[in-house]
Amino acid sequence: MCAHYARATAPEQAGPDYDAPIDPWLRMRLAPVREAHRPAPAGATVRDALRAIASAPPDPATLALELRPVRALLDRERARFRQRLADGAPAVEIAHAAARLLDGTIIGLCHLGRLLEPRPAGMVPPLAVIARGHYGGRKLAPGASADLLFLVAADPARREHGLAVARFVERELAGLGWHASGAKRTVRGCLAETRLDPAMAVDLSGARLVWGCHGLFADLRAGLAHALGRSERRTIRDTPEGSARPVLAA
């Protein structure tokens, strides 16, 4: 621990070892000291703070109290974004920073929610948190609502586990001051909706995985690729000869 403390506090040692792994709880406690030398990215700071709460078995009875410092940290970051905008910083730069901040919050909450559920701590929950729309493109204007999709497994028991974590994340995001809307679907249910609304398939094709089960996300991407290919073939077949070919959005 003394070695970690020295690396975290001594500016003359900043170098290859400066980024050596530090226990999340120690990192949070030393954050004011480290910040004087090199501020960490906002998203990583929030994520570490949430993981520090989960370093001991979380207590649902005291969780709201433990999350207050995280809310204060997020409020400071949001105020800083607004001030930077007022000072003339590029809006796209602020939107990217806000998206990274939300990424860090979601990742930390998912880790915390996983430990709160009565399942083995080492088990990866059958859940994939997916960013859609502008947030999927890593852009989130200050105060804007983020569009999320919570993918859960088809198996009833595994699905309930994933839904429990998804509900926790959605509830705590609101408590931490984020505006987010999140649909909860299985891969099959999501693909069924895209058949009714082809534009939804195009929208989801630009989505990205924020946290969770890569297998669920891969299944969704494969189904979307098939649906988009079928839609494109049908569009070409239905286009009158000699007319301009419609172009699907990327």
CATH code (residue 146): 3.30.460.10
Report if residue 18 sits inside a domain: no
- What's the pLDDT tens digit per position in 164-213? 999 999 999 999 999 999 999 999 999 999 888 888 888 898 899 999 99
Residue 163 has pLDDT above 90, yes or no: yes
Q: What is the DSSP string of 35-91?
A: HTT-PPPHHHHHHHHHHHHTTS---TTTHHHHHHHHHHHHHHHHHHHHHHHHTT--H
DSSP 8-state class, residue 232 = H
**10-14, 56-60, 92-96, 148-152: least confident range:** 10-14
pTM recorded for the entire structure: 0.75
For the chain, the domain total comes to 1
Per-residue pLDDT at 44: 61
Most confidently predicted of 122-131, 207-216, 227-236: 207-216
What is the mean predicted confidence (pLDDT) over 82-109?
A: 95
Mean of all residue pLDDT scores within the chain: 78
What is the mean predicted confidence (pLDDT) over 47-71?
A: 89
> What domain range is 91 assigned to?
41-238
Report if residue 205 sits inside a domain: yes
Report if residue 14 sits inside a domain: no
Report if residue 29 sits inside a domain: no
Report if residue 194 sits inside a domain: yes
Report if residue 142 sits inside a domain: yes
d(CA 226, CA 187): 13
Residue 87 has pLDDT above 50, yes or no: yes
Residue 157 has pLDDT above 90, yes or no: no
Report if residue 218 sits inside a domain: yes
Per-residue pLDDT at 1: 43
Report if residue 35 sits inside a domain: no
